[in-house]
Amino acid sequence: MSFKTRHARSNQLLDLKLAPWRMATVGGLLIGGLVLVAGRAFYLQGLNTDYLQGKGDAISNRNLTLPTHRGQVSDRYGQLLAISTPVESLWARPSELKLTAGQQAHLAKVLDMPEAELGKKLKRKGRGEFGVRRPVTPEQALDIAAMGVPGLYLRREFRRYYPAGEVAAHVVGFTNVDDVGQEGVERAYQTWLVGREGERQIVRDRRGNIIRDLAPIKTAQMGGNLALSLDLKIQYLAHRELAAAIKLNKAKGGSVVVLDAKTGEILALANQPNFNPNNRRNYKPEPMRNRAVIDTFEPGSTVKPFVAAAVLERGLFHPDSVLDTPQTWRVGTKLVRDEHPHPRMSVSEIIQKSSNVGAVKMAMSLTPQQFWEVLHRSGFGEKPGSGFPGESSGRLRDPATWRPVEHATMAYGYGLSVSLLQLTRAYMAFANDGEVMPLSFLKREPQEVVGERVFSPSVAREVRAMMETVTQEGGTGTRTRVPGYRVAGKTGTAHKLVNGRYAADRYLASFIGMAPASNPRLIIGVVIDEPSGGAYYGGSVAGPVFAQVMAASLRQLALPPDAPETATQMTHNTPPLPMAAGKGV
């Protein structure tokens, strides 16, 4: 019985009768679930992988811009003229901006601007973001960061500084707030200086450390540095002396150009009036113009050495040939006149005393074509090729259209125009034994340059010897002498054209000279616009500027004096310096 019952019980268990549909339902649910999970997994892993991978990468991968900054500009000895350094600037995002009245008042105080103006600035609607103040000082940056206003933030930007300030302002130029060169070298070499931002893709970990480089998208290119041909010390001297002369002579403006006669490098170039490139707020175009390169003027008597060279070259005259030079001489309807007449002068004396009649007589012995050819060869009417933006070419008309009067007036520098840089460059032919080197604002090695022959060496030397008499007793440029050195040069005093007529009382005084005359190393051109302090002759207004800059520059370059012993003899008889006398060594 017991067995039976036991048996029956087990049998009951075994024979548990389940309805088949129940089995199917459970099995189906289990398999269905499995398929669902597998399907989802397949969907995520297989089909939708890009999206998810992208999401994942977005958390860890970043594109990083590699900042670059604008290259430096320095003088020939590495003294800085322009440099970019990072500064903080204040930006606002109007959509997020929440500023209480108190905070606004505080911000206005920190930024040192009227509260109403700040309020107006911040209320500007529109999307995106805008600069509130670019740049802010480091102290202001700390203050603003401490306020922690949402929607106001500091951004690191590079700002351009010009340590030499106004001294080299016209050559270096300046950039705008977006770091784009606006004037001068900054503009001419914009693409070289600016560099290129790079981009790279990186992986960051949880703490924000960069742990892996994925790919450089763009390699960064740092802005290139530039070494200019300027010599900051000479540049400063030129700037200082010019500014002093402008003040002394109550002139409207003026320029100085200093060239290296051997290499054609521009060692200094200063203009008045000028500006401070560090201060962008007073933006006035007038003082920013580089007059020495952009403005042209009628050269006046400074053109006479070219007339002399032209006639010497053709063998029409010799330096000692004597001409009759009456006080007035008629060409067509024009009466040419000399201020300080001498009845008879040699070619050399015509240059020394700057005789208009003599120069006209010499020029008239040439055909217009011959005269034009010499001026053209010397660079008149052509851009001087310094690469400076906005360089002017001056004016030299086609000789076929010259009337005899114009031919005559051109001999003493009217009817054609040049820039100071162009004229000073042309004088390089006399300084460098007939060869003109290409101009350059960039430093270069002397062996790199190939000159252009304008005059034969003998003609260039003869004219240089004539120009040396200008600075000697009886010449027009006695105030251009430099103690210890021989100086050659030519004065120029030209009436200014005002509304198409020559003004009787407005002048342009100029002097172009070179030293040491035995083997010139420096050429300096000076022009003073409308001196109104009494003196107006080139020799007495521009001459002293030349002498000061030349003396200091020659000393700066440690060039040995070349004046004959007699001129420097007196130095031996002077009492010894007090310091040296005190010491009994």
Partner 1 sequence: MSRLNIVLALVLIVCALAVIQAQHRSRTYFVGLERLKKEARLLDEQWGQLQLEQSTWANPARVDTLARSRIGLVPPPQERIHVETVPAEIRGVTP
Residues annotated catalytic, as ranges:
301
Q: Is 232 in the site for partner 1 (CB under 8 A)?
A: yes
128-187 positions binding partner 1, by CB under 8 A: 161, 163-165, 167
* E-state strands within 281-348: 322-324, 328-331, 334-337, 344-346
Residue type, 283: Y
Q: Is 2 in the site for partner 1 (CB under 8 A)?
A: no
Q: How far is the CB of 333 from partner 1 (least distance, A)?
A: 50
Instruction: Please select the residue that binds partner 1; options are 22, 333, 571, 585, rule is CB under 8 A.
Output: 571
Q: Is 37 in the site for partner 1 (CB under 8 A)?
A: no
Kindly tell me which of 107 and 164 has the beta carbon lying closer to partner 1: 164
Buried b (16+ CB within 10 A) or exposed e, 468-491: bbbbeeebbbebbbbebbbbbbbb
Q: How far is the CB of 147 from partner 1 (least distance, A)?
A: 25
Instruction: Please select the residue that binds partner 1; options are 213, 324, 339, 398, rule is CB under 8 A.
Output: 213
Kindly tell me which of 357 and 552 has the beta carbon lying closer to partner 1: 552
Q: Is 79 in the site for partner 1 (CB under 8 A)?
A: yes
Q: How far is the CB of 213 from partner 1 (least distance, A)?
A: 8
Tokens of 347: 């070619």
Q: Is 11 in the site for partner 1 (CB under 8 A)?
A: no
Query: Rounded distance, CA 534 to CA 248, Å?
Result: 10
Question: Which residue, among 273, 69, 243, 280, has the nearest Cα to 162 in the 3D structure?
Answer: 280
Kindly tell me which of 243 and 509 has the beta carbon lying closer to partner 1: 243
Q: Is 566 in the site for partner 1 (CB under 8 A)?
A: no
Contact indicator for 77, 226 with CB cutoff of 8 Å: no
Q: Is 258 in the site for partner 1 (CB under 8 A)?
A: no
Q: Is 570 in the site for partner 1 (CB under 8 A)?
A: yes
Task: Give helix 457-470 / helix 420-431 axis angle, nearest 10°.
Answer: 110
Backbone region of residue 210 per phi and psi (left: phi > 0; alpha: psi in -120 to 50; beta: other values)? beta
For 124-151, the DSSP string reads --SSS-EEEEEEE-HHHHHHHHHH--TT
- Per DSSP, 476 falls in state S
Q: Is 83 in the site for partner 1 (CB under 8 A)?
A: yes
Query: Rounded distance, CA 245 to CA 167, Å?
Result: 15
Kindly tell me which of 19 and 585 has the beta carbon lying closer to partner 1: 585
Q: Is 80 in the site for partner 1 (CB under 8 A)?
A: yes
Binding segment (CB under 8 A) for partner 1, from list 182-190, 206-214, 384-392, 439-447 = 206-214
Q: How far is the CB of 83 from partner 1 (least distance, A)?
A: 5
Query: Rounded distance, CA 58 to CA 391, Å?
Result: 53
Contact indicator for 345, 358 with CB cutoff of 8 Å: yes
Instruction: Please select the residue that binds partner 1; options are 236, 244, 392, 519, rule is CB under 8 A.
Output: 236
User: Binding residues for partner 1, per CB under 8 A?
Assistant: 72, 79-80, 83-86, 161, 163-165, 167, 205, 209-213, 232-233, 235-236, 240, 483-484, 552, 555, 560-561, 568, 570-572, 574, 577
